């Protein structure tokens, strides 16, 4: 009986092999479709916004466009998907999205229980609290007994519970799936404070009628390494998305920008620049992309520093205001400046 059972399992496995072999990889699907299905978060200043002329922009958008530039040679070939928070991971795992870039934190559970792979960090954040200045609260330790508005189903809920437990205080959570309802409740005094990642708090405050009336408290209560997720089981696509971000970081490290890359391509200043732009070497082969894949990213999207300044920094000259979150002295500074942003060797 054991032999027959094992034999049956072997036959079943063989029967499934052609299906797996014939299944198109994510790269093949994207090329056949002619666009990247990129899941982003709710519209939020700095990460994902729509301009007056109908163009999507932001930190998360830039990663989506960079993947499209690398794979298709055209940063505009993106289908942006806004998925409800409760369905975001399922939508990616079942193939509706090719990647998810929506300020999602890398955690043990997400990488081991949801059928997903984290790629690499493109922004280091941490959770904080915001209060009305009129409250007189200057520290999160003063929130004992406070009601705090927050998102359900996020790492933030556990972070607040852990922070309250560690500091022997009581914080009452008030959950809202809808961001606009959550913000409106806070502004009307329905909760004493609001909590999310600090960059999200800065975005929320920027949307308020009088931003100066609200203060982000100094404490950072969690680690929030943010980046893109992809489905498990497709190492080539995971490598592509990972090295797209690494390419943006590397370009900054070796002095390539969207403004000078054409000049540098005509007159490269070093072998690492030549290798990066596909003028020599074969860095494209293992990814299954064209030799100019990294050049296309920088040409059409920019390097890491340029993208940061556009959306998380001061913003483009004459364009929409950025979040004005200083990079200098933060974890998002280059490793050369004491931060954590660096890329593995590009060779």
> Over 70: is that where the pLDDT of 171 sits?
yes
Cross-strand pairs, 189: none
Kindly list the domain boundaries of the chain, sorted by start residue: 26-125+225-337, 127-222
pTM of structure: 0.86
Render pLDDT for 26-58 as a digit per residue (tens, 0 to 9).
Answer: 999 999 999 999 999 878 888 898 888 889 999
Does 26-125+225-337 match 127-222 in CATH topology? yes
Residues 6+ apart with CB under 8 A from 53: none
Question: Two tokens at 266?
Answer: 């005509």
Percentage above 90 pLDDT, the chain: 77
| Cα dist from 281 to 239, 273, 290, 338, 347, whole Å | 18, 11, 12, 31, 9
Q: Would you place residue 145 in the very low, low, confident or very high pLDDT band (cuts 50, 70, 90)?
A: very high
Question: What is the rounded CA–CA span in Å between residue 1 and residue 333?
Answer: 63
Render pLDDT for 292-337 as a digit per residue (tens, 0 to 9).
Answer: 999 999 999 999 999 999 999 988 887 777 888 889 999 999 999 9
The predicted pLDDT at position 23 comes to: 65
| Cα dist from 106 to 62, 88, 220, 223, 334, whole Å | 19, 14, 17, 10, 20
- Given this structure, which CATH class describes domain 127-222? alpha beta
Lowest mean pLDDT of 131-145, 153-167, 227-241, 290-304, name the range: 153-167
CATH number for the segment(s) 26-125+225-337: 3.40.190.10
């Amino acid at each position: 009986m054991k032999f027959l059972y094992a034999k049956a399992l072997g036959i079943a496995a063989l029967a499934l092999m052609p299906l797996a072999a014939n299944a198109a990889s994510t790269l093949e699907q994207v090329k056949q479709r002619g666009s990247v299905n990129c899941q982003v978060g709710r519209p939020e200043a700095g990460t994902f916004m729509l301009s007056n002329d109908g163009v999507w922009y932001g930190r998360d958008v830039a990663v989506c466009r960079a993947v499209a530039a690398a794979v298709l040679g055209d940063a505009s070939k993106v289908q942006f998907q806004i998925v409800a928070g409760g369905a975001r991971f399922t939508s990616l795992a079942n193939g509706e999205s090719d990647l998810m870039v929506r300020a999602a934190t890398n955690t043990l559970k997400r990488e081991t229980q949801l059928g997903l792979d984290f790629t690499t960090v493109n922004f280091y954040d941490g959770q904080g609290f915001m209060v009305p200045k009129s409250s007189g609260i200057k520290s999160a330790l003063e929130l004992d007994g406070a009601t705090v508005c927050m998102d359900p189903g996020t790492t933030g809920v556990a972070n607040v519970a852990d922070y309250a437990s560690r500091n022997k205080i009581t914080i009452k959570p008030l959950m809202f799936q809808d961001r606009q309802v959550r913000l409106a409740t806070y502004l009307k005094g329905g909760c004493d404070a609001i909590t999310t990642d600090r960059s999200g708090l800065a975005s929320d405050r920027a949307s308020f009628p009088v931003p100066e009336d609200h203060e982000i408290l100094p404490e950072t209560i969690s680690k929030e390494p943010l980046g893109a997720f992809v489905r498990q089981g497709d190492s080539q696509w995971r490598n592509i998305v990972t090295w797209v971000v690494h390419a943006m970081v590397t370009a900054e490290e070796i002095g390539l920008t969207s403004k000078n890359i054409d000049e540098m391509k005509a007159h490269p200043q070093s072998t690492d620049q030549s290798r990066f732009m596909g003028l020599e070497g074969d860095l494209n082969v293992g990814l299954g992309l064209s030799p100019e894949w990294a050049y296309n990213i920088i040409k059409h999207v920019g390097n890491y520093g340029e993208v940061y300044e556009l959306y998380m920094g001061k913003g483009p000259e004459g364009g929409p205001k950025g979040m004005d979150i200083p990079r200098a002295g933060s974890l998002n500074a280059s490793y050369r400046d004491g931060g954590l942003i660096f890329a593995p060797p590009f060779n």
